[in-house]
Chain A
Amino acid sequence: MIEPLIFTHSRPGRSAAAQRPQSAPTPAVPEKLRRKRRAALPEVSELQAVRHYTRLSQLNFSIDTHFYPLGSCTMKYNPRACNQFAMLPEFLGRHPLAPAEVSQGLLACMYELQEMLREATGMKGVSLTPMAGAQGEFAGVAMIRAYHRARGDHERTEIIVPDAAHGTNPATATMCGCTVVEIETLADGDIDIEGLKKALGPKTAGIMLTNPSTLGVFERRIQEVARLVHEVGGLLYYDGANLNAILGKVRPGDMGFDVIHMNLHKTFSTPHGGGGPGSGAVGVGQRLLPFMPIPVVGKEGDSYRWLDERDLPQTIGRLSAFMGNAGVLLRAYVYMRMLGREGMQRVAEYSTLNANYLQARLRKAGFDLAYPQRRASHEFIITLKRQAKELGVNAMDFAKRLLDYGFHAPTTYFPLLVPECLLIEPTETEAKEELDAFVEALIAIQREAEQDAAKVKGAPYTLPVRRLDDVRAAKQLDLVYQEGG
């Protein structure tokens, strides 16, 4: 290992003495409830800890260090100001249950964030509590079910999901006690309207859609879809994963969606942090206002307070112990204030420009686009089916070789509809030179694949590790370090 496990640096009695309280009183705990043996945690000096974790950080790719065109993830620059201002001591040291009287500054930021998100998405209400996209999806489907039940309609148990949808969509529907009805996508990338008509009926609770879709193209007949679903009494749920493509250009509320979730860690640039924390704020139309998850910030005159189940008696409830990821919300707030109304429109314009530019250059370089007749949204798909068949080099191999060229790979093998696909999303914060370098790298890898397939298949070579054995990781589970292991 480049950097041994922290446990191997431990020596009995070693410590970061400046960090612990100076006194060590005897705990007042009855004998039978007392911990008898200390937990096996590291015993290292402060410098050893700092050096170890700093060295670990240097083994990562990150937006700050690498172009990261992961489709559907929106890896745009995370402005440092967002971090600095969200971590001002007054916000950082505030307890979630501190009284409203000493929280007006924080609540003003939260309220204004709700309002800006409402404006940007064309919805009537916003709840900031869901802590991740998947939780936002859960809230959305739960609200749809609550709405139907409140009207006495208990038959509506079906959620329609396109076959191109992200796995969390059907998983969320099942988690809410619904059954999933899948509809197909046509060759041009739009959903099959005839298939939709067949799937609609009195049991339809709603439909979950992403627009632009996971295929990177705009659902052109969305108004018709909305009309058809509403006509049978169903509601429309918008998965906001691709909001970056239309921010300021089209509003989900105007497209007819009744409920949306936004990924603040995508569109609104809060940090991905190696896997979280995210934030999945939800927006609702008029019909679903009473069901929003609590708490929500309310304004009365000049002052703000948290609204809870007393104010929203039909709420689907709370999804966390407090009010969601406040620190993440503050970062999104700062970001939106720095963008302003003009900046939000530019997000869609330049992310779309960058994606279309990359698509055009890669097409000219001989790569196969999945939807060559369509405009790219903020992302697009190339398929390496031909390379897999003719050269035995597949999307995974290209992805791993890209790492050697200093680029994080695009999203691979999603959506499942397109075989050997790379879903590429550059985002608006990348300069043209970066995009050009990425194209050159793909061209070079294609050449390598033609001349020396084994070289590409053995990638990566220049990273801390070579390609890792996934099968072994799942078969011989080693999830916890054991001394002597």
Chain B
Amino acid sequence: MSSIPSNLKFLESHEWARLESDGLVTVGVSDHAQSALGDLVFVETPEPGRRLSQGEAAAVVESVKAASDVYSPVSGEVVAANDALGAAPELVNSDPYGEGWLFKVKPDNPAELDGLLDAVAYGKALESEGH
């Protein structure tokens, strides 16, 4: 059973979003995603300054088995990318919701988060996919 923190929002494509106290949204991939991918070997993060639309492919997580696009849960401007992942992509595997964060976005409209899945809904989506 994969871990699904209750304070996060999710996309069906296994991204998570966390609204921080400073108004930024941190984005990563879920425990289920990192487990399915296997050991990550490379992560490509968006450049700070880049503008994203909700649902746009923003990053790539690459394992030996697959290279998957990571979609942005919100529209806005990228303000930070997790530089630690360059040397240590395995942080996404070991701590997908903490040290394994991918990038931070200054959202145009925080209300976009309301349209995402909450933890319960994401859990149900995983179950129906047969996980």
B-binding residues in A (CB < 8 A): 470-471, 474-475
**A-contact 0/1 string along B53-70, CB 8 Å cutoff:** 000000000111000000
A200 to chain B, nearest CB (A): 26
Which of chain B's residues have a CB closer than 8 A to the CB of A474?
Answer: 41-42, 62-64
Q: List the 10 closest pairs (A to B, CB-CB), nearest first.
A: A474-B41, A475-B41, A471-B39, A470-B64, A474-B64, A471-B64, A471-B41, A474-B42, A475-B89, A475-B42
* A474-B89 Cα distance, complex, nearest whole Å: 11
Q: How many A-B residue pairs have CB under 8 A?
A: 13
Residues of B within 8 A of A475 (CB): 41-42, 89
CA distance A471 to B64 in the complex (A): 6
Residue-wise, chain B 17-55 has the 8 Å CB interface mask toward A (1 for contact) of 000000000000000000000110110000000000000
Residues of A with C-beta under 8 A to B41: 471, 474-475
How close is A228's CB to chain B, nearest CB, in angstroms?
29
With a cutoff of 8 Å between Cβ atoms, the chain A residues found around residue B38 in the complex are 471
Interface-central residue, B41, B42, B62, B63, by most chain A CB under 10 Å? B41
A470 to B, closest residue via Cβ: B64
- The complex places the Cα of A482 from the Cα of B105 at a distance, in Å, of 41
Q: How far is the CB of B129 from chain A (nearest CB, A)?
A: 14
Query: A170 to chain B: closest CB distance in Å?
Result: 14
Question: How far apart are A477's CB and chain B's nearest CB, in angstroms?
Answer: 9
Q: Report the Cα distance A471→B65, complex, angstroms.
A: 10
CA A475 to CA B43, docked complex, whole Å:
10
Taking the closest CB of chain A, its distance from the CB of B88, in whole angstroms, is 10
Having A475-B42, A475-B89, one finds 11 other A-B pairs with CB under 8 Å, namely: A470-B64, A471-B38, A471-B39, A471-B41, A471-B64, A474-B41, A474-B42, A474-B62, A474-B63, A474-B64, A475-B41
Most chain B Cβ neighbours within 10 Å, of A470, A474, A475: A475
Instruction: Give Cα A56–Cα B89 distance, bound, in whole angstroms.
Output: 34
Most A CB within 10 A of own CB, among B38, B42, B64: B64
Contacts of B64 on A, CB cut-off 8 Å?
470-471, 474
CA distance A325 to B41 in the complex (A): 36
Chain A min CB distance to B90 (Å) = 8
Closest to A471 in B: B39
Query: How far, in angstroms, from A475 to B42 measured CA to CA in the complex?
Result: 7
A238 vs chain B, min Cβ distance (A): 28
Give the docked Cα–Cα distance between A475 and B64 (Å). 9
A-side contacts of B62, CB under 8 Å: 474
Q: Which residues of B contact A470 (CB under 8 A)?
A: 64
Chain B residues with Cβ under 8 A from A471's Cβ?
A: 38-39, 41, 64
A-B contacts, 13 of them at CB < 8 A, read: A470-B64, A471-B38, A471-B39, A471-B41, A471-B64, A474-B41, A474-B42, A474-B62, A474-B63, A474-B64, A475-B41, A475-B42, A475-B89
CB proximity of A189 to chain B, nearest CB, Å:
20
Determine the distance from Cα of A85 to Cα of B72 in the docked complex, in whole angstroms. 59
Residues of chain A with a CB closer than 8 A to B42's CB: 474-475
Shortest A317–chain B CB gap in Å is 30
Tell me how far the C-beta of A278 lies from the nearest C-beta in chain B, rounded to whole angstroms.
Answer: 25
Closest A residue, CB atoms, query B38: A471
Residue of A at shortest CB range from B89? A475
A474 CA to B63 CA, complexed, in Å: 8
Contact mask for chain B residues 93-123; partner A; CB cutoff 8 A; 1 contact, 0 none: 0000000000000000000000000000000
CA distance A474 to B64 in the complex (A): 7
CA distance A470 to B39 in the complex (A): 10
Q: Give the distance in Å from the alpha carbon of A470 to the alpha carbon of B64 in the complex.
A: 7
Rounded to whole Å, the gap between the CB of A478 and the closest CB of chain B is 13
Nearest A residue to B64 by beta-carbon distance? A470
Name the CB-closest residue of B to A472: B41
Using CB atoms, name the residue of chain A closest to B88. A475
- For residue A42, give the distance in angstroms from its CB to the closest CB of chain B: 31
A69 to chain B, nearest CB (A): 23
Please report the C-alpha to C-alpha distance between residue A42 and residue B38 in the assembled complex, in whole angstroms: 39
A475→B39 CA distance, assembly (Å): 10
Give bound CA distance, A306 to B48, whole Å: 55
A344: min CB distance to chain B, Å: 39
A476's closest neighbor in chain B, by CB? B41
Chain A neighbourhood of B39, CB < 8 A: 471
Closest to A474 in B: B41
User: How far, in Å, is A66 (CB) from chain B's closest CB?
Assistant: 26
Instruction: Give Cα A105–Cα B62 distance, bound, in whole angstroms.
Output: 51
What separation, in Å, do the CA atoms of A468 and B86 have in the docked complex? 23
Q: How far is the CA of A400 from the CA of B129 in the complex (A)?
A: 31
Tell me the complex Cα distance, A411–B38, Å.
21
Contacts of B63 in A (CB 8 A): 474
A474 to B62, CA, bound (A): 9
Closest-CB distance, A1 to chain B (whole angstroms): 23
Closest to A475 in B: B41
In the complex, how many angstroms separate the beta carbon of B37 from the nearest chain A beta carbon?
Answer: 11
- How far does the alpha carbon of A470 sit from the alpha carbon of B42 in the complex, in Å? 13
Distance in angstroms from A140 CB to nearest chain B CB is 26
In whole angstroms, how far apart are the Cα atoms of A307 and B39 in the complex? 52
